[in-house]
């Protein structure tokens, strides 16, 4: 009679232990959650230890289809027990790395957690089982959604270096990252399918360390051909328009400016840099909530003698019409500033902005770009604009950090 009751107590104790982040692993390994929660989940889950020594050599690994694969043969695991080693050589190689003085670290994207397709405890239980079977200490960093921690952003690596390596400086020339998202085309070996992305290769490149695929690292196969499948941000900078410090975009008299451009094309940066410092009042649905409120605030600003800049995507004639009509009714010129940023670059800037703001500004989903494309109508003077100014992407950054983040590889719409 007492056995079921004791089991319930044990389960309760185990749940409490998990809630505290405690594990049955050696070396003081425990879980913590980092960052501001999104949809009830913190953007970064960390398995680390305060007692493990820091190491200057790091061997980083993706988990799925790099260290392990599903035992069921499915693309996505069914529960925490659906796994087996990717190859018989994996466990021995990881143990040898630990013995040779490398800190073995797993860096994994698990966006299914934020989407509520998989529970955090399911992922944690599987990882703990992997480490138990390895018998060596492994640090783990899990990006739970589409945040600034998601690979290929190097923020998981940066968090590890700053907080989990006991202050020991890492020698990047001695480090490696291994992952299966390597940009290989369909048929790169026999009948192999194409890689779903190039994010693991980009992750290593953004950090500045050597990259290997699982086949190269564990099986000593020769490197296969690959494509980055994204824009090269450094090449973009070489071709970008250089800002002219003498160029002015504001007017001395009262006017209304309508911005036009796809998401993350640089509209807000432009108006903050070139219009707001000259007294322009910005109206934006992101802050005001509705188009009606934007018109109301714009009208009040114009009546008080101020210039106005309407900062939204405004893809269609109808989306711009109310502002054009307001300018006409108030007897002021209405100019259109049309961002010429290519879509692929805007996708890159979308992720750059998320990383620059440490996730405070979330990436805009692809549907936002699709809606813009579907509704876009090229602005013309026939709508009532007094001038249409085409604005090219300008290579100007507010800080060295912003420039460094721009230069990092992103998946840019792929």
Q: What digits encode the pLDDT tens for the residues 156-188?
A: 999 999 999 999 999 999 999 999 999 999 999
pLDDT at 40 over 90: no
More confident residue, 381 or 1: 381
Task: Find all residues with CB under 8 Å of 21, minimum gap 6, and list them.
Answer: 30, 31, 32, 33
Count CB atoms within 10 A of the CB of residue 381. 10
Instruction: Read off the pLDDT band of 10 (50, 70, 90).
Output: low
Whole-angstrom distance, CA of residue 175 vs CA of residue 91: 19
H helices, E strands: number in the chain:
14, 14
* 3: pLDDT strictly greater than 70: no
Half-sphere exposure of 138 (CA within 13 A, CB side): 29
Q: Specify the pLDDT at position 170.
A: 98
In whole numbers, what is the pLDDT of the chain averaged over residues?
A: 94
**pLDDT band (50, 70, 90) for residue 414:** low
Average pLDDT over residues 18-44: 92
Q: State the Cα torsion 268-269-273-278 to the nearest 10°.
A: 0
- Name residues whose C-beta falls within 8 Å of residue 292's C-beta, 6 or more positions apart in sequence: none
**What pLDDT shows up at residue 114?**
95
DSSP secondary structure of 10-52: HHHHHHHHHHTT--S-STT-EEEEES--BTTB-SEEEEE-SSS
pLDDT at 9 over 60: no
Find the range with the poorest average confidence among 11-15, 358-362, 385-389.
11-15
Q: Read off the DSSP letter of residue 366.
A: H
Phi/psi at 201 (5° precision): -65, -40
d(CA 342, CA 323): 25
Residue pair 335/255 in contact (Cβ under 8 Å)? The answer is yes
- Count of CB atoms within 10 A of residue 247's CB? 8
Strand partners, 259: 337
With a cut of 50, say whether residue 7 has pLDDT above it: no
Place of tokens 């970064």: 44
Interatomic CA distance for residues 296 and 291, integer angstroms? 9
* Per-residue H/E/C for 238-287: HHCECCCCCCCCCCCCCCEEEEECCCCCCHHHHHHHHCHHHCCEEECHHH
Q: 107: which residues sit within 8 A by CB, 6+ positions away?
A: 60, 61, 62, 141, 151, 156, 157, 177, 203
C-alpha distances out from residue 230 to 154, 170, 227, Å: 17, 29, 8
Can you say how many angstroms the Cα of residue 60 is from the centroid of all Cα atoms in its chain? 19
Tokens of 301: 């600003």
Token couple for 372: 């813009």
Of all helices (H) and strands (E), which one includes residue 214?
A: helix 214-219
Distance CA 183, CA 206 (A): 15
3-state secondary structure of 227: coil
Considering only CA atoms, give the Rg of the chain.
26
Cis ω on the peptide bond leading into residue 152 (within 30° of 0)? yes
User: What pLDDT is stored for residue 246 in this prediction?
Assistant: 86
pLDDT in tens, 120-161: 999 999 999 999 999 999 999 999 999 999 999 999 999 999
Quote the distance between the C-alpha of residue 408 and its chain's center. Answer: 11
Counting residues of the chain whose pLDDT is more than 90, the rounded percentage is 87
Is pLDDT at 371 greater than 80 in this prediction?
yes
Residue 89 to residue 231: CA distance in whole angstroms: 36
Higher pLDDT, 247 or 63: 63
Q: Is the dihedral of CA 77, 80, 85, 91 positive or negative?
A: positive
CB 262 within 8 A of CB 313: yes
- Which tokens belong to 278? 């000259």
pLDDT tier for residue 18 given thresholds of 50, 70 and 90: confident
Q: What is the pTM of this model?
A: 0.92
From the list 360, 364, 371, 334, the residue with the least C-alpha distance to 350 is: 364
**Separation CA 263–CA 366 (nearest Å):** 10
Tell me: pLDDT of 242 over 90: no
- The residue with tokens 């990252």 is 177
Per-residue pLDDT at 227 exceeds 90: yes
């Amino acid at each position: 009679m007492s056995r079921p009751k004791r089991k319930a107590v044990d389960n309760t104790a185990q749940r409490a232990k998990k809630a505290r982040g405690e594990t049955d692993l050696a070396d003081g390994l425990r879980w913590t959650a980092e960052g501001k929660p999104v949809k009830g989940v913190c953007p970064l889950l960390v398995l680390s230890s305060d007692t493990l020594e820091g190491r200057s050599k790091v061997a980083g690994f993706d988990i799925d289809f790099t260290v392990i694969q599903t035992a069921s043969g499915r693309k996505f695991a069914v529960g925490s027990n659906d796994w087996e080693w990717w190859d018989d050589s994996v466990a021995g190689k990881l143990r040898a790395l630990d013995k040779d003085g490398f800190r073995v670290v797993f860096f994994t994207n698990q966006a299914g957690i934020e989407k509520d397709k998989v529970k955090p405890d399911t992922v944690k239980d599987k990882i703990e089982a992997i480490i138990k079977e390895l018998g060596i200490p492994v640090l783990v960093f899990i990006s739970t959604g589409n945040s600034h921690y998601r690979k290929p952003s190097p923020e998981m690596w940066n968090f590890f270096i700053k907080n989990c390596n006991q202050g020991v400086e890492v020698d990047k020339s001695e480090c490696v990252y291994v992952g299966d998202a390597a940009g290989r085309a369909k048929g790169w070996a026999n009948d192999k399918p194409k890689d779903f992305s190039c994010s693991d290769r980009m992750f290593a490149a953004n950090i500045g360390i050597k990259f290997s695929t699982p086949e190269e690292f564990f099986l000593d196969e020769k490197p296969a051909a690959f494509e980055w499948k994204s824009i090269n941000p450094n090449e973009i900078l070489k071709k970008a328009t250089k800002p002219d410090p003498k160029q002015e975009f504001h007017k001395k008299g009262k006017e209304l400016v309508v911005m036009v451009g796809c998401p993350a094309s640089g509209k807000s940066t432009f108006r903050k840099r070139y219009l707001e410092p000259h007294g322009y009042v910005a109206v934006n649905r992101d802050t005001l909530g509705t188009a009606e409120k934007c018109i109301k605030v714009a009208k009040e600003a114009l009546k008080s003698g101020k210039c106005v800049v309407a900062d939204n995507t405004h893809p269609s004639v109808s989306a711009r019409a109310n502002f054009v009509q307001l300018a006409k009714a108030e007897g002021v010129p209405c100019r259109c500033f049309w961002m010429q940023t290519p879509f692929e670059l805007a996708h890159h800037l979308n992720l750059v902005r998320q990383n620059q703001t440490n996730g405070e500004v979330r990436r805009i989903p692809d549907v936002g770009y699709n809606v813009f494309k579907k509704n876009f109508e090229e602005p013309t003077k026939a709508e009532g604009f007094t001038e249409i100014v085409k604005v090219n992407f300008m290579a100007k950054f507010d800080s060295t950090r912003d420039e460094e983040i721009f230069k990092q590889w992103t998946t840019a719409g792929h």
